[in-house]
């Protein structure tokens, strides 16, 4: 109470006249927040709120989630299928039948002329899991191309690859609750407050309850680095050197957990031998972190009763992203920090359903983490789907980042792009433009018909958005949650699930295959496929105990969650009866039987043949483009909190745009003085690939030899990036290349900026 006032005068918020709250899950980042959408008497959406009973977000949402309901009627939405002969002609509206028939016949024509793999399918991390599963079935089982991948190659491929190499299988082993138990958290290239605000809030809440050291490794003073106890401003692309030097200290001082290493890992001798070359005395000159700090951090990490690492694109988007992940896993394995509360290697996934595509889309293999290269698994899926096993390829085809260059060389002639926008997201977009122009046939399936990539398509499929559809997401901590139909589809747009099913009907193999009409029936197929064993042990990705009903009741269930026995079923019935009498928005799941397993590998047994985790020696090599006399600045890129990916959605939301309306460049004031550049002036950034005009923001967040530009804006940072590929994951190194800064005509640049902001 202020100034002795006796009566409280709370702010009153006018009622939005919500008649009904509908449950769903946020469709932006991988945090996986549960949302309730408020509808009024006329079934119109009037507001959104975080679900108070959901363990992930506990009532909170970030700006994107709070404004997500404005998506449904946002400008630029596709209303009807469109068609044209040449990409430079005007589109004409067409029927769904004509759009689907034309696409199917073009696919068949290209495949007959040039071979099955001459048609590529590139999808996303934004679809619902049942849609991913169905697209996989269609692409692998009916169309039969092996050049099928997702844009997750741009964000999480290195984490997938690193997990597979270390643990034998993909899947983050930890959970958000680990923040509550850890005694040291090391964040590599992860700016949680802007990228994953609600995960950051979970971390902050844990830190407020019990202080533990927060160590942030990032070349830039990010928002998370500002809150860190120790910030390590590492030289870009040298994280392997830092981790090797930390392991050198840990092993030479006998701080490793030798009993865990002996019982649960293989390859320690090789790692021990390799790290002898990374004495902090010499490593400091490569990674830019001084010897004493390396020793200090290594000791803090190894001596903590439980220590955990998180990472995002700072590790993944690198020429040694997969090695970086394997090395973080090495660090945690040698200190015994896997599978215990507060001790884990937790990749913070990017897109809302990047996990769903990893698990079920068949992009890099077959559903349920099965491999094309494994004869038994190929046969199992062919039998389950009802196709000839010989129809399936015996090894994985091209990754997304290799599919585009294959257009240049004439290997790929046609493409289907689903909810992805390579004209903004891929490195070196000038090159991508030429590739798309070269295609004989391009079909774009997207919520928005004004998505940049649609400039090059021959057919456009208008897709429904978010809660106009039904199906699941899996979040960063393996929690499966439900997106539920809140509204019917906009205009004549259709759910992606429907589009895939209709396309399947136009291919011969669908005569022997079953494509369920309802997402829940596809989910039931996935449940069946998730059961069984792998290397003689129960499958880790087991969702057989889940159902839509249970998922909503629990506000998300983590896998593995195996089939319940009949006694548990009775308990659930009773629980449903009790919960029906309570308000669904405030109650929490009452029993633990709706929770899956929070952590993987708690018994120290890994899904490798031997059951042991692999310790992998990681040698540093330096193949990045480096700053030089002609291009003296490192170019770094990343996110801002208001926008998601290429702004196809957040760019249409008024308040997201107001807070972050234009591309800008963070620049160090000392470097700016040297070049005579002023705060809030425009400059041209030039790399060996192209140029971009940006607004300058002077800040000490970046060192003197680095600039930072958000990656969301079209015709901006990715005109400059090189994107060398990681040899294991094929993920591009978006964050390591060099640029120079030039003066530009200010009024022309301002005119250009205004023009772009009309988007
Ligand atoms: S943190 Fe991510 S999942 Fe949560 S509301 Fe924001 S964008 Fe959505």
> What is the tens place of the pLDDT at every residue in 512-549?
999 999 999 999 999 999 999 988 899 999 999 999 99
Question: Which residues are paired to 82 by β-bridges?
Answer: 93, 460
Q: What pLDDT score does 6 carry?
A: 67
pLDDT confidence tier of residue 210, bands split at 50, 70 and 90 = very high
For residue 23, report the distance from its CA to the centre of ligand 1, in Å: 15
Helices (H), 338-374: 354-360
- What atom of ligand 1 comes closest to residue 199's alpha carbon? 1
Q: What pLDDT score does 590 carry?
A: 46
For residue 196, report the distance from its CA to the centre of ligand 1, in Å: 7
Judge whether 128 and 472 are in contact, CB under 8 Å.
yes
Task: Give, in degrees to the nearest 5, the angle at Cα 503 between 502 and 508.
Answer: 110
Judge whether 397 and 145 are in contact, CB under 8 Å.
yes
Compute the average pLDDT of residues 656-678: 93
The three-state (H, E, C) secondary structure of 431-452, written as one string: HHHHHHHHCCEEEEEECECCCH
Task: Give, in degrees to the nearest 5, the angle at Cα 644 between 640 and 646.
Answer: 105
* Chain centre distance of CA 493: 25
For residue 61, report the distance from its CA to the centre of ligand 1, in Å: 6
* Cα–Cα distance for residue pair 74/448, rounded to 1 Å: 9
Q: Around Cβ 284, how many Cβ atoms within 10 Å? A: 18
The three-state (H, E, C) secondary structure of 320-334, written as one string: CHHHHHHHHHHHHHH
Compute the average pLDDT of residues 638-644: 89
The residue to mutate among 27, 55, 198, having the most atoms of ligand 1 within 8 angstroms of its beta carbon, is 198
The residue to mutate among 64, 467, 556, having the most atoms of ligand 1 within 8 angstroms of its beta carbon, is 64
CA torsion sign for 341, 347, 351, 354 is negative
For residue 137, report the distance from its CA to the centre of ligand 1, in Å: 30
For residue 501, report the distance from its CA to the centre of ligand 1, in Å: 30
Residue 567 has pLDDT above 90, yes or no: no
Q: Determine which residue's CA is closest to atom 4 belonging to ligand 1.
A: 33
Residue 646 has pLDDT above 90, yes or no: no
Judge whether 366 and 344 are in contact, CB under 8 Å.
no
Residue 667: what are its φ and ψ, rounded to 5°? Answer: -140, 145
Spatial CB neighbours of 679, under 8 Å, sequence gap ≥ 6: 672, 696, 697, 698
Q: Which of 93, 155, 71, 74 is nearest to 469 (CA)?
A: 71
Q: Which of 613, 601, 618, 606 is nearest to 726 (CA)?
A: 618
Q: What pLDDT score does 577 carry?
A: 61
Q: What pLDDT score does 152 carry?
A: 87
* Cα–Cα distance for residue pair 18/20, rounded to 1 Å: 6
Both tokens assigned to 614? 């692999």
* Rg of the chain, C-alpha, whole Å: 26
Residue 124: what are its φ and ψ, rounded to 5°? Answer: -155, -175
> What is the tens place of the pLDDT at every residue in 240-293?
999 999 999 999 999 999 999 999 999 999 999 999 999 999 999 999 999 999
Both tokens assigned to 22? 């509908």
CA torsion sign for 425, 430, 434, 435 is negative
Instruction: For 283-313, give the DSSP string.
Output: HHHHH---HHHHHHHHHHHHHSSSEEEEE-H
Q: How, if at all, do strands 633-638 and 479-483 pair?
A: unpaired
Q: Determine which residue's CA is closest to atom 6 belonging to ligand 1.
A: 62
For residue 705, report the distance from its CA to the centre of ligand 1, in Å: 33
Judge whether 732 and 721 are in contact, CB under 8 Å.
yes
- What atom of ligand 1 comes closest to residue 644's alpha carbon? 7
Compute the average pLDDT of residues 561-589: 60
Residue 571 has pLDDT above 80, yes or no: no
The residue to mutate among 25, 27, 29, having the most atoms of ligand 1 within 8 angstroms of its beta carbon, is 29
For residue 541, report the distance from its CA to the centre of ligand 1, in Å: 24
Compute the average pLDDT of residues 614-626: 94
Both tokens assigned to 490? 């906009």
Judge whether 631 and 739 are in contact, CB under 8 Å.
yes
Spatial CB neighbours of 172, under 8 Å, sequence gap ≥ 6: 159, 163, 344, 345, 346, 347, 349, 476, 477, 478, 600
> What is the tens place of the pLDDT at every residue in 192-202?
999 999 999 99
Q: pTM here?
A: 0.94
> What is the tens place of the pLDDT at every residue in 370-416?
999 999 999 999 999 999 999 999 999 999 999 999 999 999 999 99
pLDDT confidence tier of residue 570, bands split at 50, 70 and 90 = low
The overall average pLDDT reported for the chain is 93
* Cα–Cα distance for residue pair 448/53, rounded to 1 Å: 33
For residue 218, report the distance from its CA to the centre of ligand 1, in Å: 23
For residue 741, report the distance from its CA to the centre of ligand 1, in Å: 35
CA torsion sign for 356, 360, 365, 369 is positive
The residue to mutate among 28, 71, 126, 355, having the most atoms of ligand 1 within 8 angstroms of its beta carbon, is 28
Compute the average pLDDT of residues 357-374: 95
Spatial CB neighbours of 292, under 8 Å, sequence gap ≥ 6: none
Question: Which residues are paired to 637 by β-bridges?
Answer: 709
> What is the tens place of the pLDDT at every residue in 319-342?
999 999 999 999 999 999 999 999
Judge whether 372 and 362 are in contact, CB under 8 Å.
no
Residues touching ligand 1 (Cβ under 6 Å) are 26, 28-29, 31-33, 57, 61-62, 64-65, 196-198
Both tokens assigned to 595? 């929770």
Judge whether 694 and 683 are in contact, CB under 8 Å.
yes
Residue 181 has pLDDT above 60, yes or no: yes
Judge whether 318 and 250 are in contact, CB under 8 Å.
no
Q: Determine which residue's CA is closest to atom 5 belonging to ligand 1.
A: 65
The three-class DSSP label of residue 346 is: strand
For residue 6, report the distance from its CA to the centre of ligand 1, in Å: 39
DSSP secondary-structure letter at 504? H
- What atom of ligand 1 comes closest to residue 32's alpha carbon? 3
- What atom of ligand 1 comes closest to residue 197's alpha carbon? 1
DSSP secondary-structure letter at 494? B
> What is the tens place of the pLDDT at every residue in 81-98?
999 999 999 999 999 999
Q: Higher-confidence residue: 139 or 648?
A: 139
- Measure Cα distances from 267 to 25, 161, 610, 615 in Å: 41, 18, 12, 5
Residue percentage of the chain with pLDDT more than 90 = 84
**Is 711 buried (19+), middle (13-18) or exposed (0-12) by CB count in 10 A?**
buried
For residue 198, report the distance from its CA to the centre of ligand 1, in Å: 6
pLDDT confidence tier of residue 591, bands split at 50, 70 and 90 = very low
* Cα–Cα distance for residue pair 244/615, rounded to 1 Å: 12
- What atom of ligand 1 comes closest to residue 62's alpha carbon? 6
Both tokens assigned to 593? 């039987």
CA torsion sign for 346, 350, 356, 362 is negative
Judge whether 185 and 157 are in contact, CB under 8 Å.
no
Q: Which of 649, 661, 683 is nearest to 64 (CA)?
A: 649
How many Cα atoms are found within 13 Å in the side-chain-facing hemisphere of 78? 30
* Cα–Cα distance for residue pair 759/757, rounded to 1 Å: 5
């Amino acid at each position: 109470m202020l100034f002795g006032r006796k009566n409280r005068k709370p702010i009153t918020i006018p009622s939005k006249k919500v008649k009904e709250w509908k449950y769903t899950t946020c469709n932006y980042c991988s945090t996986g927040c549960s949302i309730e959408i408020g509808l009024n008497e006329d079934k119109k959406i009037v507001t959104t709120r975080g679900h108070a009973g959901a363990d992930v977000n506990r009532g909170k949402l970030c700006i994107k989630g709070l404004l997500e309901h404005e998506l449904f009627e946002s400008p630029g939405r596709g209303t009807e299928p469109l068609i044209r002969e040449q990409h430079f002609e005007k589109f004409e509206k067409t029927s769904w039948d004509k759009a689907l028939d034309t696409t199917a016949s073009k696919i068949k024509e290209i495949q007959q002329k040039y071979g099955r793999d001459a048609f590529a399918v590139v999808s996303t991390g934004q679809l619902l899991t049942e849609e991913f599963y169905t697209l996989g079935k269609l692409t692998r089982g009916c169309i039969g191309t092996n050049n099928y991948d997702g844009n997750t190659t741009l964000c999480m491929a290195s984490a997938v690859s690193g997990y597979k190499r270390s643990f034998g299988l993909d899947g983050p082993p930890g959970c958000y609750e680990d923040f509550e138990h850890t005694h040291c958290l090391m964040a590599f290239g992860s700016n949680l407050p802007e990228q994953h605000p609600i995960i950051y809030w979970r971390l902050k809440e844990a830190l407020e309850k019990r202080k533990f050291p927060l160590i942030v490794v990032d070349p830039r003073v990010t928002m998370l680095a500002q809150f860190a106890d120790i910030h390590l401003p590492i030289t870009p692309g040298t994280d392997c050197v830092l981790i090797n030097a930390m392991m050198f200290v840990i092993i030479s001082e006998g701080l490793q957990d030798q009993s865990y290493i002996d019982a649960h890992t293989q390859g320690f001798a090789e790692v021990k031998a390799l790290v002898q070359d990374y004495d902090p005395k010499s490593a400091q000159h490569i990674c830019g972190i001084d010897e004493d700090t390396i020793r200090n951090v290594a000791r803090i990490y190894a001596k903590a009763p439980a220590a955990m690492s998180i990472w995002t694109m700072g590790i993944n988007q690198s020429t040694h992203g997969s090695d970086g992940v394997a090395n973080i896993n090495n660090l945690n394995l040698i200190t015994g920090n896997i599978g215990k509360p507060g001790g884990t290697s937790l990749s913070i996934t990017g897109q809302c359903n990047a996990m769903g595509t990893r698990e079920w889309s068949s992009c890099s293999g077959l559903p349920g983490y099965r491999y094309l290269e494994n004869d038994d698994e190929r046969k199992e899926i062919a039998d389950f789907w009802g196709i000839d096993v010989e129809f399936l390829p015996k090894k994985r085809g091209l990754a997304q980042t290799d599919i585009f260059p294959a257009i240049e060389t004439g290997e790929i002639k046609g493409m289907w792009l689903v909810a992805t926008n390579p004209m903004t997201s891929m490195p070196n977009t000038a090159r991508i433009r030429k590739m798309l122009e070269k295609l004989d046939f391009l079909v774009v399936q997207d919520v928005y018909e004004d998505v940049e990539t649609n400039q090059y398509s021959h057919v456009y499929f208008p897709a429904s958005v978010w809660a106009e559809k039904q199906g699941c997401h899996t979040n960063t901590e393996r929690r499966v949650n439900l997106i539920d139909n809140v509204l019917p589809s906009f205009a004549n747009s259709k759910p992606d699930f429907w589009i895939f099913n209709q396309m399947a009907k136009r291919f011969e193999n669908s005569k022997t295959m079953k494509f369920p009409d309802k997402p829940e029936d596809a989910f039931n197929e996935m449940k069946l496929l998730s059961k069984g064993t792998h290397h003689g042990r129960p499958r880790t990705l087991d969702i057989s105990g889940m159902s839509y009903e249970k998922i909503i009741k629990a506000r998300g269930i983590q896998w593995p969650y195996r089939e319940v026995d009949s006694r548990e079923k009775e308990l659930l019935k009773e629980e449903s009866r009790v919960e029906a009498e309570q308000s669904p928005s405030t109650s929490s799941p009452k029993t633990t039987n709706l929770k899956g397993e929070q952590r993987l590998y708690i018994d120290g047994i890994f899904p490798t043949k031997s059951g042991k985790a692999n310790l992998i020696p990681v040698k540093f090599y330096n193949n990045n483009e480096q700053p030089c006399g002609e291009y003296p600045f490192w170019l770094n890129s990343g996110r801002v909190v208001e926008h998601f990916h290429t702004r196809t959605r957040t760019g249409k939301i008024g308040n997201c745009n107001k807070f972050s309306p234009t591309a800008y460049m963070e620049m160090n004031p000392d470097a700016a003085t040297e070049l005579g550049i002023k705060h809030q002036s425009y400059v041209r950034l030039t790399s060996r690939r192209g140029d971009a005009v940006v607004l300058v923001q002077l800040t000490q967040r970046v060192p003197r030899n680095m600039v930072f530009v958000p990656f969301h804006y079209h015709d901006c940072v990715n005109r400059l990036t090189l994107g060398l590929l990681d040899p294991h994951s094929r993920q591009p190194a978006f964050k390591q290349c060099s640029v120079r800064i030039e003066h530009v005509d200010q009024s022309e640049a301002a005119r250009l900026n205004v023009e772009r902001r009309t988007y």
